Every structure is written in C-alpha cells, then in structure tokens.
C-alpha cells in the first residue's frame, strides 16, 4: 500500500479508550499517532502493544502547535451535516485523521483546519477507539491491494495479478 497515515485526537479525555485507539493504530500500521490538547496515554493497560516503543507519538499542546508532514491532509472524523459518509470517501494517500474527545466533538478550529471531514454513518456517536478502528479498516480496505469481494457469501474472490490472497497466487503471464 502506498502512502501513510496517522491518527490522533483533540482533547482526549478517556485514557483507556485513547490507549485502545493507539494500540489499534499500531496494529493497522499507522506511521505515527498524536494528541492535541489532551491527556497523555503512555503506559496505559489498554495499550498492550506498547505503542510508545513502536510508533512515534506526538503530543501537541494546542492546534496551533500541530505539525504534519508536507502533503499530509488532515481528515476530521465527526458527525456533522457537511461531512462525507465514510463509504463514499476516497482516502488521501497521505492522511492524518483527527477525532474529538469522548462525549464531545472536534472544535470549530479543528474542523476549519481539516481538508476533509468524514462521518461514520451511524445513528449515534461511536466510542473513540471503535470509530478510529472503523476508519482505519476502511482506509486499508480501500487503498490496499485486495481482490474484489465475491458476489455471494460462498463465492471465491478473484485473485489479483501477482498478489497472494487466501493461499491463491496468480502470476502475470
């Protein structure tokens, strides 16, 4: 998969959920994780993969301090009317996803900074760690080299040329 991604929170206030989000980010291959104006999560029991030893963690005191790599697009994850539903969103190759705190929302300042705002089409707000996992899975599913899904539940996916998938290898000839 080309590109990179990061995920972080503005105003993180539930340390256990934040640790879980960061652990999931490590599992999905995030290039870095970050917090803005929130509590620091290092060493939480919910972070069983020791993210701080494996993935760079950046802690920013304010949104004005937030630094992202060149060409990295900030993508807000928020339930607002103008947001694009996640299943219709094309993820940028270089992206940093930012979510608001538990029982809260991204600030207006954060929303203005975002090049894109997406929403998970649910009837109510999801737990921070769950929402982050859904977004990261969708990114990998969309940008990864995965075969098309079969038409029926018992069908077999079409193998990609030169891609190992489910024990099937198809060579370009």
**Structure confidence at residue 164 (pLDDT):** 45
pLDDT value at 73 more than 50: yes
Closest CA to 25 of 110, 137, 141: 137
Q: Report the alpha-carbon distance of residue 128 to residue 135 in Å, rounded.
A: 11
Domain ranges of the chain: 4-146+155-169
User: What confidence tens digit (pLDDT) does each residue in 1-56 have?
Assistant: 679 999 999 987 667 778 888 889 999 999 999 999 876 655 555 556 666 777 88
Q: Report the alpha-carbon distance of residue 6 to residue 57 in Å, rounded.
A: 10
Q: Does domain 4-146+155-169 have CATH number 3.40.1280.10?
A: yes
Burial 121-147 (b: 16+ CB within 10 A, else e): eeeebeebbebbbebbebbeeebeeee
pLDDT value at 170 more than 50: no
Q: Which residues contact 69 (CB under 8 A, 6 or more apart)?
A: 94
**Structure confidence at residue 50 (pLDDT):** 63
């Amino acid at each position: 998969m080309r590109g990179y991604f990061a995920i972080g929170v503005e105003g993180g206030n539930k340390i256990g959920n934040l640790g879980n989000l960061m652990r999931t980010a490590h599992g999905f291959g995030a290039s870095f994780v970050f917090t803005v104006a929130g509590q620091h999560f290092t060493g939480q029991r919910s972070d069983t993969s020791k993210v701080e030893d494996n993935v760079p963690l950046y802690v920013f005191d304010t949104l004005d301090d937030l630094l992202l790599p060149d060409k990295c697009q900030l993508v807000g994850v928020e339930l607002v009317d103008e947001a694009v539903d996640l299943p219709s969103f094309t993820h940028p190759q270089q992206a940093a996803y930012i979510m608001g705190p538990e029982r809260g929302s991204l600030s207006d300042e954060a929303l203005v900074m975002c090049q894109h705002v997406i929403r998970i089409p649910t009837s109510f707000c999801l737990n921070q760690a769950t929402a982050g996992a859904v977004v990261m899975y969708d990114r990998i599913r969309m940008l990864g080299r995965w075969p098309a899904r079969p038409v029926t539940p018992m069908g077999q996916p079409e193998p990609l040329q030169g891609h190992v998938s489910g024990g099937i290898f198809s060579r370009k000839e």
